[in-house]
C-alpha cells in the first residue's frame, strides 16, 4: 500500500513510553525504526527488552549531533523535562524538515510548536514539523473540562491518581512498589506541570492534586465543575456526546469509568456526569492508560497525521 517508508528514531528509548512506541512502530506499515538511543542500554538488542519487537536493532548512546546525523524522517524525543533543546537545535541546524515529536513538557507552552491533542486541536494543525505531545494527566483533564468550558463558574478542581509507571524509570519513592504498597502518595499538590499545561491550553485556571497508587499503569481524574447556570444530566451528556461520539479514542461512558479497565487500552474514557440537586455542580471521571493515550498512542496519532497517513494507522482501535 505504501511504498514510501519513513525512518523514525527514538531518543530516550529505555523509558516505559519508549518501549510502547517501539511496539507501535513495529506494527506500522510506513514507519521503520532506524535508531533507538539510550545511554543505559547502549549496545544491547532492542528485541531483548521489548516484547513484540523482532530484528537485530541495538540501542545506541547518541548525543544531539549524532541523532541529527542519523538523518531520520521522524525523531521522537522521549526524555525527561528540560532535556529536549540540544536535540532540537542540532536537528534544526542539520535537517530542519525532520518531523520532531517531543513527549516532554518542554515545548507545550511554545506557540511555534503544534500542541497535539487531536480530539481538541486537530483543526489547529497547520503542517508544523514540530509537535508537542500533551501530558497524560493534562489530556484527561482537558477532555473532562472542554465541553463545559463556556459555563464554568469557578476553576475546575481535579483529583488525580496514577499508576507508578507515570513516575518514570529513575528510582524514587513514587515508583518504589514497597513504599506504595497499601498506600496512596500525594505529590505536587499545587503547581504541577500538568496543572499549568491544562490551565494554559484551556484558557481557564485548573486546580489539580495528583497521587500515585500501587498499580503500574492507568490514571483516573475526578473533576469537580461549578457551573454558571443549572444543567440537567441529559444536557451535560449531550455536550460530551457531541464532542466525542465521532472520536475513536475518546469514549463517553454513562457510568464513571474504572482505572482497572483502561490498562493496555488506547483510548480515554470520560463518564460519570453526576449532577448536584441544584444542577450547578457536575462531577466527571476520566481514565486513560498514561503510557498509551497519555503518551505513545497520542504520539502515534500526531505522527500519522504529519506523515500523511490515516490518524489511527497501527493503533489498535475498538478492541472492546
Element (H, E) at 35: strand 31-37
241 in Cβ contact with 254 (< 8 Å): no
Phi, psi for 139 (deg, rounded to 5): -65, -50
| Cell numbers describing residue 95 | 535537517
Among residues 136, 158, 213, 259, which one is catalytic?
Answer: 136
- Reply yes or no on whether 136 is catalytic: yes
Burial class (CB in 10 A: 0-12, 13-18, 19+), 56: exposed
| Cell numbers describing residue 277 | 440537586
| β-strands 59-60, 157-162 pairing | unpaired
| β-strands 99-102, 31-37 pairing | unpaired
Q: Which residues, 6 or more positions from 136, have their beta carbon under 8 angstroms from its beta carbon?
A: 162, 166, 194, 219, 288, 290, 291, 293, 294, 295
Task: Count how many Cα atoms sit within 13 Å of the Cα of residue 204 in the half-sphere of its side chain.
Answer: 20
Nearest to 288 by CA among 141, 95, 85, 70: 141
Q: Which residues, 6 or more positions from 116, have their beta carbon under 8 angstroms from its beta carbon?
A: 101, 125, 131, 132, 133, 134, 298, 299, 301, 302
User: Which residue numbers are catalytic?
Assistant: 136
Amino acid at each position: 500500500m505504501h511504498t514510501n517508508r519513513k525512518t523514525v528514531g527514538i531518543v530516550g528509548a529505555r523509558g516505559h513510553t519508549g518501549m510502547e512506541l517501539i511496539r507501535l512502530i513495529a506494527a506500522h506499515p510506513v514507519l521503520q525504526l532506524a535508531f533507538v538511543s539510550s545511554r543505559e542500554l547502549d549496545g544491547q538488542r532492542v528485541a531483548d527488552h521489548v516484547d513484540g519487537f523482532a530484528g537485530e536493532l541495538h540501542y545506541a548512546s547518541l548525543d544531539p549531533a549524532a541523532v541529527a546525523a542519523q538523518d531520520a524522517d521522524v525523531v521522537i524525543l522521549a526524555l525527561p523535562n528540560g532535556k529536549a533543546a540540544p536535540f532540537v537545535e542540532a536537528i534544526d541546524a542539520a535537517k530542519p524538515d525532520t518531523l520532531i515529536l517531543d513527549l516532554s513538557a518542554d515545548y507545550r507552552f511554545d506557540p511555534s510548536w503544534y500542541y497535539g491533542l487531536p480530539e481538541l486541536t486537530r483543526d489547529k494543525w497547520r503542517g508544523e514539523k514540530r509537535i508537542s505531545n500533551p501530558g497524560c494527566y493534562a489530556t484527561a483533564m482537558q477532555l473532562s473540562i472542554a465541553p463545559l468550558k463556556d459555563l464554568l463558574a469557578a476553576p475546575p478542581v481535579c483529583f488525580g491518581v496514577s499508576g507508578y509507571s507515570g513516575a518514570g524509570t529513575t528510582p524514587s519513592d513514587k515508583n518504589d512498589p514497597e513504599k506504595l504498597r497499601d498506600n496512596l502518595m500525594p505529590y505536587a499538590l499545587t503547581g504541577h506541570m500538568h496543572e499549568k499545561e491544562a490551565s494554559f491550553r484551556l484558557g481557564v485556571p485548573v486546580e489539580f492534586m495528583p497521587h500515585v497508587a500501587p498499580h503500574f499503569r492507568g490514571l483516573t481524574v475526578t473533576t469537580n465543575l461549578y457551573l454558571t447556570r443549572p444543567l440537567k444530566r441529559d444536557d451535560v451528556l449531550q455536550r460530551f456526546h457531541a464532542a466525542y461520539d465521532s472520536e475513536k479514542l475518546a469514549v463517553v461512558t454513562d457510568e464513571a469509568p474504572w482505572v482497572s479497565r483502561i490498562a493496555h487500552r488506547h483510548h480515554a474514557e470520560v463518564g460519570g456526569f453526576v449532577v448536584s440537586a441544584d444542577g450547578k455542580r457536575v462531577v466527571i471521571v476520566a481514565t486513560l492508560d498514561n503510557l498509551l493515550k497519555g503518551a505513545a498512542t497520542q504520539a502515534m496519532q500526531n505522527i500519522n497525521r504529519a506523515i500523511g497517513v490515516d490518524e489511527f494507522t497501527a493503533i489498535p482501535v475498538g478492541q472492546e
